[in-house]
Structures are given as structure tokens and as C-alpha cells.
Structure 1
């Protein structure tokens, strides 16, 4: 998975020992599933953001208000969101991933 930094680092840059310990308790396949879920969550968030950014655009062209551009724009926004999330996004995925791992580790204890 490219772009998503998954190093156990806390908000201030210090090594996050809680997260590092939690990773030891979660199976690799569950970690991968959590990474995918976190990235997908960020893509949904970004898609919503992009949809809001392009809602009021009028005129001709790909972001205009001509017949058919609404569907095209929706698909384009979805692809933009997926690409952004795949390349690291805005940082939501790494925090969601951390939360998912901590929850799974707590359940396994």
C-alpha cells in the first residue's frame, strides 16, 4: 500500500509505544484489512469534499452544468478521491488505521 504512512508515531513525533504493542497483538491479515478499510474511509471523505467543491460550478466544460456532466463529474470526483487516498490523502487514514488496530488489540486481550 503506497502513500499511507503507518509508522507507530504519535501526534508530537514521539514513538507511540501503545500502537507498537497493539500491532504485535493483531495478525498481519487483520492489519492489512484495517489499512484497506482506513484508506477506503478516507476516500469516501475526500469524495464528499470534492463533491461539495464542485456543486456550484456552472458553464461549459467538464465541470459545467451541461447535460451529462453531473454523472461524469461524480465519477471523476470518485477517482480523484481514490487516487488521493492511495497516495497518502490528508492524514485521516493513518489515524483511522491506528484506531482500528488499537480496538482490535483490545478485543484480543
Structure 2
């Protein structure tokens, strides 16, 4: 019985659906993180105001609110950062699959 650790079947030319989904998720998560950090920098100099209740509560929960804003912006896909990251991740998955053929 042959128990070879190397597969003799060549990987598909196109990335698997799971690879595409993973690349899309990575791109969207990166964009959400980056936009959230950008918003934190923008709001850093602002005092807690009366728009959201103000006071210690707003200072405490502002970072969570900005993270959610980042997620919402990333889900909308209007900036395109996630798509660029997705393309790079997908390209890297493709190179990994091609490199494992040999």
C-alpha cells in the first residue's frame, strides 16, 4: 500500500470557493480595521459632546462606536481598500497553489 504524503493531483487553476471567501473576508476585515483606526484618529481631538450623551460614557464607548462605523463602511465597499487586499490575498493563494504542484 502506497501512503505518499504528496498528492499527485494538480490543484485547480482557479482558487477554490473557500479561498475566494477567505480572501474576501480578509479584505473586508482589513478595511474595517483601517477605517476604524482612521476614525479614531479623526475623533481623538474632539471632546465628548452632547450629540451622543457626552460625558464619561461617550468617552468609554466611542472606540466601539467607531469600530462599528469602520465595519459598516467596509461592508458598503465604497473605499475599495478591501477589494485591493482581496485581490492580493487571492493572488497569493494562487501562487501557493502553483508552488505546491511540483
TM-score, normalisation: structure 1? 0.71
Kindly state the Cα deviation for residue 33 of structure 1 after the two structures are TM-superposed: 1.0
Kindly state the Cα deviation for residue 59 of structure 1 after the two structures are TM-superposed: 5.0
Is the alpha carbon distance of 1:37 and 1:59 closer, same or farther for their aligned partners in structure 2, counting shifts above 3 Å?
Answer: closer
* Whole-Å separation in 2 of the counterparts to 1:38 and 1:105: 16
How many matched pairs?
A: 87
* Whole-Å separation in 2 of the counterparts to 1:63 and 1:35: 33
SS at match of 1:93: helix
CA contact (8 A) 2:48 2:58 kept: no
CA contact (8 A) 1:54 1:63 kept: no
Kindly state the Cα deviation for residue 96 of structure 1 after the two structures are TM-superposed: 0.4
The answer to whether structure 1 residue 51 and structure 2 residue 31 are counterparts is: no
Q: What root-mean-square deviation, in Å, do the aligned CA atoms of Structure 1 and Structure 2 show?
A: 2.0
**Greater Rg, structure 1 or structure 2?**
2
Per-residue CA deviations over 1:64-88 (Å, capped at 9, x if unaligned) read 8621212221111011100000010
CA contact (8 A) 2:23 2:89 kept: yes
Corresponding residue of 1:60? 49
Corresponding residue of 1:90? 79
Corresponding residue of 1:100? 89
For structure 2, the 5+ residue unaligned runs are 1-12
* Whole-Å separation in 2 of the counterparts to 1:62 and 1:73: 12
Query: Which stretch shows the higher mean deviation, 40-49 or 88-97?
Result: 88-97
Is the alpha carbon distance of 1:55 and 1:62 closer, same or farther for their aligned partners in structure 2, counting shifts above 3 Å?
Answer: farther
- Stretches of 4+ aligned residues off by more than 4 angstroms: 62-65
